[in-house]
Amino acid sequence: MTPRLGLVCISERLTQQKLTAKTMTRKQFCSLGRTAGLQVLSQRILHNSQHLLRTLQACNESGARHYRVSSSLFPLITDHTLELKYSDIHEFDAIVANLKAAGDYSRAHDITLSSHPDQFNVLSSYRPDVVDKTIRELDHQSYALDMMGCKQDYTSPMCLHLNKTPDFKQETVEEYVSRFLTNLARCSDGVRARLVLENEDKAYWNCENLYTHFAGHLPLVYDNLHDMCNPSCDPGQSVDRFRKSWGKYVPVFHWSEGIGSKRSHTDYVTHLPHMVDLNRDVTWEVELKAKDNAIAHILSTYFAS
């Protein structure tokens, strides 16, 4: 049986054709002034909404059956200093229509979707401003999945790192978990229905600790390279535990290879111990630098009929 492999954010095939998404910095926006800045920003978001469909088509061509939606789809929209609203974005109806078309394409071609807010989103932070910023970003990314027609459940998960070790001088792990869950309760319905947690590549939240304190609260995402860098228990046991934490839903895990003993990812795969030997009843997001070219290489090298 061929495994379900997922593309992470950027299609290398499209990049090689010079077809890429567009971004915008706060400095660029402010230098243009609000009126002109909104015009340029809106055009870039419209472009990104069109590029999303092209990326999903590239997934289908490479054999990827899953796609992690880029967090950069809507540049600057959650920057609270700019006070942007969706109604400020020009041609927003066209953008929504493009996202819906992309979602329809994904479902028609059996391509599941997910998101992965970046490491600056820390729902367990001690700082209220960081938590507020994180909630804005999570709510936005969930809304983007809504616009694509995704169900508000773990069929379109949003993966988050905890990114903060408990301060054992100030609190217990139980108090840390309670604070995280309290902040999660402030998020939108879509976030609460989609959020999943990933084992970390360093510090406290390895597979064992994540499972011990969060199993039963949220589904858990297994990352094989993080587990290698920050080991705790047997990888097979972690995969099995994490898989069961998803209940009836198909888990979305992360797979990559490091360069030597480093965390940096290789371009292509050289061996497939976890993906082949452990479990195939999961979706593996492939975090290799060659992106969809790496996925096509895996399928043609290891799973050609």
Split at pLDDT 50, 70, 90, the class of 109 is: very high
Please report the sign of the dihedral spanned by the C-alpha atoms of residue 64, residue 289, residue 194, residue 168.
positive
With a pLDDT cut of 90, the percent of the chain lying above it is: 87
Residues contacting residue 89 through CB under 8 Å, at least 6 positions apart: 38, 41, 42, 45, 77, 95
Question: Measured between alpha carbons, how far is 130 from 101 in angstroms, rounded to an integer?
Answer: 34
Residues contacting residue 147 through CB under 8 Å, at least 6 positions apart: 96, 99, 100, 103
pLDDT at 1 over 90: no
pLDDT at 255 over 70: yes
**Cβ atoms within 10 Å of 30's Cβ, excluding its own:** 12
pLDDT at 136 over 90: yes
Split at pLDDT 50, 70, 90, the class of 6 is: very high
- Residue range 65-79: mean pLDDT, rounded: 97
Residue 99 confidence (pLDDT)? 98
How confident is the model over 200-246, as pLDDT tens digits? 999 999 999 999 999 999 999 999 999 999 999 999 899 999 999 99
Q: Which of 149-163, 166-180, 269-283 has the lowest mean pLDDT?
A: 269-283
Split at pLDDT 50, 70, 90, the class of 275 is: low
Per-position b or e across 58-95, b if 16+ CB within 10 A of its CB = bbbebbbbbbbbbbbbbbbbbeeebebeeeebeebeeb
Sorted by where each starts, the structural domains of the chain and their CATH numbers stand as 1-115 (3.20.20.150)
Specify the pTM.
0.95
Split at pLDDT 50, 70, 90, the class of 276 is: very low
How confident is the model over 81-105, as pLDDT tens digits? 999 999 999 999 999 999 999 999 9
pLDDT at 279 over 60: no
Report residue 153 as tokens.
């459940």
Residue 271 confidence (pLDDT)? 74
pLDDT at 273 over 80: no
pLDDT at 277 over 60: no
